[in-house]
Amino acid sequence: QVQLVESGGGLVQAGGSLRLSCAASGRTFSSYAMGWFRQAPGKEKEFVSAISGSGDDTFYADSVKGRFTISRDNAKNTVYLQMNSLKPEDTAVYYCAADIANYASRWSDSRYAVDYWGQGTQVTVSS
C-alpha cells in the first residue's frame, strides 16, 4: 500500500507560480512512476505530468509543456510539480498518483490506470 499526501496548492494570480509537493510512503519509492492529474469543475480528470522512477524520463500534457516542471527526490520520497506562468484555465484540484509498474510514458493514455491516488490539493488561478 502506498499513501500519497499532496501540499502546496493555493490561490495565485495569473502569471504567478506555485510548487506542489507529494510525499509518498513505502520503501520502494524509486521504483514507482509518479505524477500528477487534475480535475476542473464539471470536467473529467486529465493527465498533467509524469516522471519515471529514476527521474530520467518526464512527460507532459501539451497544455502545460514549457510552463510546468516535474521532478522527484527519491531520498525524500517526494515528487514536485513546479508550475509557472499560471493561467485561469489551470484552476483545478491536482492529484498526485503512483504507478508501481513504472510506465510513466503511458500516463497520457486515458485507458491506462495508475495504482494509487492522493487526496488532492486545490489550485486556483485568478485573472
- The model's pLDDT over 15-49, given as tens digits with 9 standing for 90+, comes to 999 999 999 997 799 999 999 999 999 999 999 99
**Predicted local distance difference test score (pLDDT) of residue 69:** 98
Low-confidence ranges of the chain (pLDDT < 50): none
**Predicted local distance difference test score (pLDDT) of residue 51:** 98
Q: Which residues contact 94 (CB under 8 A, 6 or more apart)?
A: 6, 9, 20, 36, 37, 38, 48, 81, 120, 121, 122, 123
SS3 47: strand
**Predicted local distance difference test score (pLDDT) of residue 41:** 92
**Predicted local distance difference test score (pLDDT) of residue 26:** 79
**Predicted local distance difference test score (pLDDT) of residue 1:** 86
- Using CA atoms, how far residue 1 sits from 10, 13, 54, in Å, is 28, 37, 20
**Predicted local distance difference test score (pLDDT) of residue 58:** 98
Angle of CA points 40, 43, 49, to nearest 5°: 60
